[in-house]
Structure 1
Amino acid sequence: MRALFPGSFDPVTQGHQDILRRAALLFDEVVVCVMFNSHKTGRFPVMERLDRLRAAAAGLSNVTVDSHTGGLLVDYCSRVGIDVVIRGVRGVADLDYEMPMARMNHELAGVETFFIAADPALAHISSSLVTAMSQQDLP
Structure 2
Amino acid sequence: MEEWIALLFDIGLGALVVLLIYAISWKVRKILGSQPEKQSKKKRQLFQSGDAIEAKPRRMYIDTYVFIAYFVLFDVAAFILATVFFITKANPNYTDSITLALVYSSIVLATLLFAMKKRYPRDVIDPINGGLK
Give TM class, smaller chain: under 0.3
Q: Which has the higher helix share?
A: 2
Q: Which has the higher strand share?
A: 1
TM-score (norm: length of structure 1): 0.22
